[in-house]
């Protein structure tokens, strides 16, 4: 089996070559599929990444839910990921590596039934993921493992591969949504 470093390299190259028009159109398809899930319809709070660097675009998800559901986005503080509530895209500023981060101070703590939109580079049919290599999401999910929330990844089809090597600290997703499939 190929190692995580090589998978990151291969998928990163594919992302770089993926046309911007495809990113936009496929992101819309993925977000529309998400909006039709029970997990989305039933949640009160969405914990979501702010898309960056050719990820599935989450801007429409964030904009479309401001004022309807609570929105929390991540920020790295002292090498630890925390989520903060936002009520406007104006609450975001470029932070680490140019990624938009919240400037708000209201800490979001996950509750039962909340929805997490999880970023990643690669995913497999067993709902495993490879992130960007820092382990922020795995550590966060372990910290709140006593809370029953839903972890959904949004992915382009080329990001879903046959099998990903798994380490003991990796946390499985609950589902993965791509333009062509949904994995539960």
Among the listed residues 86, 53, 172, 88, the one whose alpha carbon sits nearest the alpha carbon of residue 124: 172
Phi-psi map region of 169: left, alpha, beta (phi>0 left; psi -120 to 50 alpha) = alpha
Q: How far apart are CA 106 and CA 84, in angstroms?
A: 5
4 - beta bridge partners?
none
Q: Is the pLDDT of residue 111 over 90?
A: yes
45 - beta bridge partners?
70
Q: Is the pLDDT of residue 138 over 80?
A: yes
Q: How far apart are CA 179 and CA 33, in angstroms?
A: 8
| Averaged confidence pLDDT in the chain | 97
Q: Phi and psi for 171 in degrees, rounded to 5?
A: -110, 130
CATH 3.20.20.70 fits 4-183, yes or no: no
Q: How much is the pLDDT for 91?
A: 98
Query: Average pLDDT for residues 124-137, to the nearest whole number?
Result: 96
Q: How much is the pLDDT for 96?
A: 74
Confidence class of residue 171 from pLDDT cuts 50, 70 and 90? Answer: very high
Q: How much is the pLDDT for 133?
A: 87
Q: Is the pLDDT of residue 9 over 80?
A: yes
Q: Are 82 and 56 in contact (CB under 8 A)?
A: no
Q: By percentage, how much of the chain surpasses pLDDT 70?
A: 100
Q: How much is the pLDDT for 22?
A: 98
Q: Is the pLDDT of residue 161 over 90?
A: yes
Q: How far apart are CA 28 and CA 1, in angstroms?
A: 33
Query: Average pLDDT for residues 139-157, to the nearest whole number?
Result: 98
Q: Are 82 and 136 in contact (CB under 8 A)?
A: no
Other Cβ atoms closer than 10 A to 70 = 19
Q: How much is the pLDDT for 1?
A: 74
Q: How far apart are CA 74 and CA 116, in angstroms?
A: 11
Over residues 58-94, the pLDDT tens digits come to 999 999 999 999 999 999 999 999 999 999 999 999 9
Query: Average pLDDT for residues 29-49, to the nearest whole number?
Result: 98
């Amino acid at each position: 089996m190929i190692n995580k470093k090589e998978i990151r390299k291969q998928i990163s190259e594919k992302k770089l070559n993926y046309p911007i028009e495809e990113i936009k159109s496929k992101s819309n398809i993925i977000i529309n599929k998400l909006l039709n899930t029970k997990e989305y319809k039933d949640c009160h709070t969405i914990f979501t990444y702010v898309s960056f660097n050719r990820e599935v675009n989450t801007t429409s998800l964030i904009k479309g839910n401001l004022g309807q559901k609570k929105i929390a986005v991540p920020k790295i503080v002292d090498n630890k990921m925390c989520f903060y509530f936002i009520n406007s895209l104006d609450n975001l500023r470029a932070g680490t590596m140019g990624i938009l981060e919240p400037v708000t101070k209201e800490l979001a703590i996950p509750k039962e039934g909340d929805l997490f939109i999880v970023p990643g580079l690669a995913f497999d049919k067993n709902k495993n993921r490879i992130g960007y290599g820092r382990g922020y999401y795995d550590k966060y999910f372990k910290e709140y493992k006593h809370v029953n929330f839903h972890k959904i990844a949004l992915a382009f089809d080329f990001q879903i591969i046959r099998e990903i090597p798994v380490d003991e600290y990796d946390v499985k997703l609950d589902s993965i949504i791509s333009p062509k499939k949904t994995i539960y």
